[in-house]
Structures are given as C-alpha cells and as structure tokens.
Chain A
Amino acid sequence: MFSHLRISQKVVIQVILIFISVIWIVPLFTAVVESLKIGGFNNYLLVLNHPKISLPRVTYNSFFIATVSCLAVTFMVALAGYAFSKMQFKGKSIFYYSLLVCLAIPPAAILTPLLITTKVLGLMDTHIAVILPVVALQLPFMLMIVKNYFDTIPSPILEAARIDGCTSFKVFYMIIVPLAKPALINALVLTFISAWNEYLIPLLFIRKPAKYTVTLATTYFSGGMHQTPDLLAQQYAALILISLPSIVVYIFCQKYMQAGLTAGAVKS
C-alpha cells in the first residue's frame, strides 16, 4: 500500500506517529517524575528499606504466586488445547464452549463464593488462596489462544508420527510443544504478568502484611488520611519498582508474545 510514498506523505505519517507516541510517553514519564520528587533517588531507598513492609518478602510472595499460576495454567491449557485441536471425541464442542463461555465471567461476580470457600477451608492468608482463583480466571482466555495456535500446526505431521508408532502423548511433547513455543511462552508470560498485577483477589484473601503481594504493598505507601508529598513520591517509587519485573519480562519476550497473541487470538 505504501510502496511509493511521497516525501510529504511520509512527513505526515511520521508526525502522527510521533504525536501519539508523546501522548503515550507522558503518563509513563509522569510516574518517573513523581517518584523522584522531594527525596530524589532516596525515595527508592526508603521504599526498599521500609520499616513496616519488607519489599524482598512481598516480592517473593508475588513471584511465588505468579510462577505457580503461570506454570499451572500453561500446563492445563497445553494439554486441553491439544485434545480440542487435534483429537476427535464425543462432546468435544460442548466441553470446549463450556470452557470458552467462562471467558465472560466477571471476577467480581464470583468473589463471594470464592471468599466463603477460602474461609471454610481455612486458606485465608495463604498463597494458594490467591493462586487458585487466578488460575481459574486465566484458563479460558489462554485456552482459546493456545488452541487456536495449535490449529495452525498441520495435522499430517502428527498423523505421520502416529503411524511411526508414537503415542499421543509422545506426539504432544515431541512435536506440538516445540512447534507451539510462541503460544506457550505467550501463555506463560501473560499469566505471569496478570497474576503479578492482580489486585482484587489478594485484597480479599490476604490480611497479614507478611503475606502481602507487591500490589497490596503499594497501598502501604499511600498514607491513607495522612497523605504527605514525600509519602506520595514514595508511593510512585514503589509503583515503579513493582512494575520492573513485568517490564523486563516484556522486553525479553515481546517477540514471542506478539507472535503467540496474533496467531492465537485471530481466527482466519
């Protein structure tokens, strides 16, 4: 479409793209500026050495929750996606759509039952109380993405392997898993980031500061009624610090993420 662009057209496009980039950079820039107000980089040190909340501790909590969640989700959707994409069996579409419909469940609508179950089972203030709902709520979307990606793997390869005597599970880990790497990495990364960023679920299930996740920990810096400019600056420093792991993961995995998302989310 743009094989023969005139200079003037190029300038117009470039200006539009730069203008929009600026709009997107300003909020990110604002967060950094706010975090450096009053105390400068000292704000970050104050956050890291906060007397009441141990940042290494909450980082470990979030890291544990996010890692277990993403491994569990990816394991389950890879197996289920394989069956839904490459096998024929009775009730296939009913099972698939009954899982896909869960995509529409608003987390807020099912929190009370989860809260009660958690209380009854005595799981309040445990990592598992956060992991289980996170995994359940992430499953449907990841299943859709991974299953659609598996659909793009040509079936004749798999049939040839079956004829050579491979069991269906051998086909799965020898052929499907290596070929679907972008989709599986994408499921891992997206679930990790969503679990890391989750706010509402830990808010309801975690009360003890020792078990806080990174998102809950930032509320410690908001100061509540006694908000002061230096506390506010520290809060932004904390918000930036908790975003760093997601940023690092994004920078390293964005190639896989874009490939996995586009092949998995769009049916064509």
Chain B
Amino acid sequence: MVTFKLEIKGSIKLGKLSPYLYIAPALIFSAVFLYYSIGFTIYTSFHEWNGLTMDQKFVGIRNYVDLFTDDRLFSALWHNLIFMACVIFVQIFGGLLLAVLLKAKLTGHGFFKSLLFFPNILAPIVVAAVFRIMLDPNMGSINKFFVAVNLDVLAVPWLGDPFFALLSIIIVNIFSFLGFAVVLYASGLLAIPEEMYESAKIDGSGFWNTFFKITFPMSHGTTTTMLVLGITGGLKAFDVISLLTGGGPGYSTEVLNTYLYKRLFNDFNGGLSAATGVFILTISVAMSIIQIKIYDRSQRDI
C-alpha cells in the first residue's frame, strides 16, 4: 500500500500535510473561542473584577478561598449530583425498558418513539413555559387532576417547595431527554441476536431475568453513551432551571451554572464567578478523561 501511495507523484507532500489541513478549521475555531475563553476564565479567577469594566485587580487565590468556604457552592454541587443521578438512572433503565417494549412492534410503536423524542427539539424556553403553567399550584392541570381523582395529598406546591421544586426540575428533564435514550437503545437492541432470547426462553428465563442477564449487559455500548452524555449534560444544566425556578425557592434548585451566573450578573463578582467556572471545568474535564478511557476500553473489548 505504501509503495502505491509513493508512486502518485505530487500528492506525497499533500498527503503528509493534508490531515492537518482537514482538522485546521475545527481546531482553529475551537482554539480561538473555547481555549481562549478557558484561558481568560482561569486568568480572571485570580483577579477581582466587577464584570463590567475592563480593569482587573490581582488578588491571588482569594476567590478560591471565598468559593470553597461558601455553603451555597456545596449545596449547588449536591443539587447537581442528585439531579444527574436521577435523570441518568431513569434514562438508562426507563429508556431501555421502553425500548424493549417497543420491540413487540404493537400498533403505533413508531409514533410512540417519535412522540417521546419530540421534546428534544423544543426550545428550553418553550418547555419551561409549558411546565410553569402545568405546575402552578392552583391553576395548573397537574394539581387539578390530582384533586379531581381525590389524590389531594399529591396536589403540592410544585415550584414553591424546596423538595418538590428539585423534583419538578428532574421530571422536566426526564420529559425532555427520555426519548433520546429510547431511540438510542431501540437501535442498539437490533444488534442482539434473537437466538439469545430463544435459548433464554427455552431455559425458562422470565422477563426480568432476561432483561438483567441479557438485554442490559448486551446494551453496554449505549449505556456508556448515556452515561457520558448524562454527566456532561448534567454539569451543563442551566437553561430550563434558570427559566423555570431561577434556582429557587431560596437556593433549593441552585446548580453550579446558575450559581456562576448569579455571582456574575446579580452580585457583579466576576472573580468568584470565574473561579466557579474553573471549578466546573475541572470536574468536567476529569469526568471526560475517565469517560474517554472507559470508551476506549469498551471499544477494545469488541
């Protein structure tokens, strides 16, 4: 193969240089916007800055000391973790379970898949507006429904109570992204040979046994993807939360990104906000490296 390549005159030089030409646009673009921004954020995190004017005053690690002594940061981190764990758990098990049920190919299974995926394409501003009206304690259709079926205990102040506000945020995110998991798992299931199910059936394996012994382990590629996207997505969570609860009531639904945003645009504490940015980036990059390692290993297994 090498000898053939060398025989094509003129393309030898191009051949050596061309991979870099192909990746150059994406790489330069990311460098100019993303790497530069990260550098700026790291620089700012060591300075005092009001976020409006251009002058920054060097303060050493004071922003980091302030950040790590702030209880609000840790409660935001905790909310992020709960939120991520719940959404990822439902996406993986709910998504896979629904994908399995779709395999029965009953009436409307194609419509079902499209319907569940649909919220993915809606703007966060639309999703937030719809749920704000549905979750309204008095006027909202959810509480009206619970009262109508005599389940008054479930008619709670959804967005007004710390616990239920966080639960609402989780539910809205599951509504938005469960369909994505179903679509991914449904196509992953096609790769599992039918004979495996046949022999499991002959061995007398029940539905749940087959689900946990065959379907779940055989879908590990999709599960890894859901984990990767779930964790990075969870750390990025911002739009729907800030539009639906704004981090409230109190700080009960505050996550890392809403904390960062408020520190800058409400408190004009640009340095602390930048330090928060560096903190989130550090977690994200660490997670990404672990995930890339897992990704590579899962690829090597096959």
Contact = CB atoms under 8 A, between A and B. Distances in A.
A24 B302 contact: no
B75 interface: no
A225 interface: no
B154 interface: no
A207 interface: no
Interface residues of B, number: 107
A8 interface: no
Contacts of A80: 22-23, 25-27
Nearest to A142: B26
Contact of B11 (A95, A106, A167, A266): A167
Interface string B49-77: 00100100000000000000000000000
B225 A266 contact: yes
Contacts of B198: 3
Contact of A75 (B25, B98, B288): B25
A83 B18 CA distance: 8
B133 interface: yes
B131 A27 contact: yes
A268 B276 CA distance: 36
B103 A99 contact: no
A30 B292 contact: no
A242 B261 CA distance: 26
A68 interface: no
Contacts of A84: 23
Interface string A188-204: 00000100110110000
Contact of B105 (A2, A24, A26): A2
A136 B221 contact: no
Interface in B120-147: 121-127, 129-131, 133-134, 141
A2 B38 contact: no
Nearest to A204: B265
A135 B25 CA distance: 12
B108 A17 contact: yes
A112 to B, nearest CB: 6
Contacts of A234: none
Interface in A153-169: 159, 162-163, 165, 167-169
B190 to A, nearest CB: 9
Given A79-B26, A97-B292, A104-B284, A110 B184 contact: no
B284 A168 contact: no
Contact of A5 (B11, B104, B116, B129): B104
A88 B18 CA distance: 11
Nearest to B211: A1
Interface in A216-262: 218, 235-236, 239, 242-243, 246-247, 249-250, 254, 258, 261-262
A219 to B, nearest CB: 8
A139 B29 contact: yes
B26 A106 contact: no
A264 B279 CA distance: 30
A250 B118 contact: yes
B232 A24 contact: no
A89 B111 CA distance: 45
A3 B238 CA distance: 44
B163 interface: no
B91 interface: no
Contacts of A268: 188, 191, 221, 302
B133 A30 contact: yes
Contact of B22 (A87, A104, A109, A265): A87
Contact of B238 (A83, A108, A162, A236): A108
B14 to A, nearest CB: 7
Contacts of A100: 288, 292
Contacts of B1: 159
B30 A110 contact: no
Contact of A89 (B20, B184, B276): B20
Contacts of A165: 8
Nearest to B141: A30
Contacts of A266: 184, 187-188, 221-222, 225
B175 A24 contact: yes
Contact of B134 (A17, A27, A109, A140): A27
Given A104-B287, A197-B121, A267-B225, 18 more contacts: A2-B104, A2-B105, A3-B197, A76-B29, A99-B26, A102-B30, A106-B257, A112-B274, A113-B40, A116-B40, A168-B18, A199-B125, A200-B238, A239-B130, A246-B121, A246-B122, A249-B121, A267-B295
20 contacts: A1-B197, A3-B194, A27-B119, A27-B127, A27-B130, A30-B134, A31-B126, A31-B129, A88-B19, A104-B285, A105-B281, A109-B41, A110-B34, A136-B30, A136-B34, A199-B239, A215-B125, A218-B125, A246-B123, A266-B188
Interface of A: 1-3, 5, 9-10, 13-14, 16-17, 20-21, 24-28, 30-31, 34, 75-77, 79-80, 82-84, 87-89, 92, 95, 97, 99-110, 112-114, 116-117, 132-133, 135-137, 139-140, 143, 159, 162-163, 165, 167-169, 193, 196-197, 199-200, 215, 218, 235-236, 239, 242-243, 246-247, 249-250, 254, 258, 261-262, 265-268
For the complex of A and B, list the 6 residue pairs with the smallest distance between their C-beta atoms, beginning with the closest. A104-B284, A197-B123, A83-B22, A109-B277, A136-B33, A113-B40
